[in-house]
Homo-oligomer: A and B are copies of this chain.
Amino acid sequence: MSKNGELKEDLSNYDPREYDDPSVTTDIIIVTIIKNDLKVLLIKRKHHPFKGCRAVPGGFLDVGREESLDDTAARELVEETNIIASVPEGKSAIYIEQLKTYGEPDRDPRKRVITVAYYALVPFSAFDKQVIEAGDDAEEGSAKWLFLKSPPKNMAFDHKKILKDTLERIRGKVSYTDIAFNLLPEKFTWTELQNVYEIILGKRLLRSNFRRKIKSMYILKELKETKKGKGVGRPSVLLKYVRMKKL
């Protein structure tokens, strides 16, 4: 089609109407922790390719919006979950990061589709429980929380691969970044924090070592309050994440 020479070297003598452009979608993998498990929000497809299969929520890029890919992903997150997107004092906004772009020629049977995938880490407490059902009860309508580590077999497109990449990314980054804190509410206990790490890494950790490690990497603020209501055992102090230490 294109006698290269020119084309490959330079994007310059390009006429938009000359080419058959692919479609572009941005998908958002929304991850949270529910009852000691990583969960991902998946929809059930209502229409023809992969009808009835589970899929990652997303949408075609609307060029008319003049919106960056990052903003598109963030907007889809809000639209999908009715999440409280406002920024509560001190705490940073929802964590969203670009994961990877998927573009195999046959991943969508209708036409060529390039998907820019993002993932978000959200504390479960941030969701409006009325909109998204948390339980394991079967639901027909829209979105549902499913296990990130063992997604359903009948996933649409290459979305199983996308979930696998997401899990790998989270596991890879949890040890040298502060992403884990994004899965917790503003105030949390040591045990809750340790749970997040254990769930992501899939193994048990020793309290003492875990705390030393965390303290060496991050600055935390110990609050005066304690968490009660659990009944038995010594009450734990509540913490706030402040920031990562340098270097």
Residues of A within 8 A of B (CB): 1-2, 4, 7-14, 16, 19-25, 43, 45-49, 51, 55, 57-69, 76, 79-80, 98, 100-101, 103-106, 108, 110-114, 116, 142-143
Contact = CB atoms under 8 A, between A and B. Distances in A.
A16 B2 CA distance: 23
> Which of A65, A69, A80, A101 is most buried by chain B, counting CB atoms within 10 A of its CB?
A101
A96 to B, nearest CB: 14
Contact of A57 (B9, B22, B51, B80): B9
A46 B8 CA distance: 12
Looking at chain A's contact residues, is the secondary structure mostly helix, strand, loop, or mixed? loop
Shortest beta-carbon contacts, A-B, top 8: A12-B47, A69-B103, A21-B21, A66-B105, A101-B101, A63-B112, A20-B63, A1-B64
A21 B23 contact: yes
A101 B69 contact: yes
Given A65-B1, A69-B114, A55 B11 contact: yes
Given A23-B19, A101-B116, A111-B16, A8 B57 contact: yes
A79 B65 CA distance: 36
A118 B11 CA distance: 16
Contacts of A13: 46-47
21 contacts: A1-B62, A2-B62, A4-B79, A7-B60, A10-B43, A10-B46, A10-B57, A12-B46, A12-B49, A14-B60, A14-B110, A19-B60, A20-B63, A21-B24, A22-B24, A61-B114, A63-B112, A69-B114, A98-B101, A101-B116, A114-B116
Contacts of A46: 10, 12-13
A120 to B, nearest CB: 14
